Structure 1
């Protein structure tokens, strides 16, 4: 299903996006050496509840996971890149952490992810991974707009990731959002321009470039959820929800000062 929101719902989406962005930035600020992933999950639960919002993850039970997910945020560390299940792990200096959060507020879902380094250690490979996904995300946003094809966004994202030297996995990518978290159209992280669904005002898309340092192959943890690089290399993931407008795009989950 491809859902086109009316102007009232788009306004609700802006509120939802601001909440997601605020929670992610608050959690990032609390991520220091010694922080436990389960504390991040509890803090996310508290902030979602206080805002009168609903988690998209707790009861999430797709075919590819061992559901229900049962937690409020995805916490992926180092070689984990997607769907990281919060567990009893204490963050160490130099860990690369990705936080992925989706909530519903006012009946509208927004979805975002950030990757960053914990502590003072700054491995060059990790900095490059994060930079590549953030640049690819900005390229995808810049390519989006009314009457643009999905393939134009995919091509923009993939061009940045490929130029940075990374292989691209196409099993998981961006997607439509609206009243539910995962909707059509699928937005691959690489593709051919001029192909695919033509974007319309009122469409919400979650764009999410992610890469692994030296492989495009994923493996699934014993927890049935966490997806890791097959080689144990580090990974990064960046995501924003955007709204297609009459004259461009609105980035709903971008943090503001």
Structure 2
């Protein structure tokens, strides 16, 4: 049933990607393979569904499955969910490069010229540029610094809030009182006698309250230090990335590299 569900989803997605109606798809399929009817297509798109007699619609013959896979340029295994790679060749390439299909397709798009506005006539130049970028001595440093930058951005967005941790582990009334009394104190003021914030506000400075205030202040201090540290680290990463970026450009611009990166029509 899982394979049937995957088959239906992926076959429908492939048809939608090409903007096929069932009628248009049947016309193209029949032209290429000299077979198929409207009823066939309806069944192919409803594999695994129950019909009126209580039976389940089964998969088409392997020949038909192979034809459908060939028609859309994918593998039968992709249609049935045995692999997420659309073709066996793509699976081998991804395994060799230790990368995913989306990344490999992006590389192919650049080196073929398909994803660049000026088209395939300059594909050789694009391939050379990509080659020099990936093999530049500074490129490894660039990737490493991007990883550091992403980590700091993530920590900034999902930072640990120490104040919230204190609040969760403390009675609400006590926490609220600690917030109110956070800057309270007792000291002698010349000419004014003794100042006691707790006494003036009719609050008893119990050991429990004093401990709660200390915990709150420590948490606030940690949050501030963490926030400041992350902000500084992000700025430093941005500076390093810019510096490495220009180092890569210098490496790309070596005289021996220039002829291969010139666009030709």
What is the TM-score normalised by the length of structure 1?
0.24
- Structure with the largest fraction of strand: 1
Larger Cα-atom Rg: 2
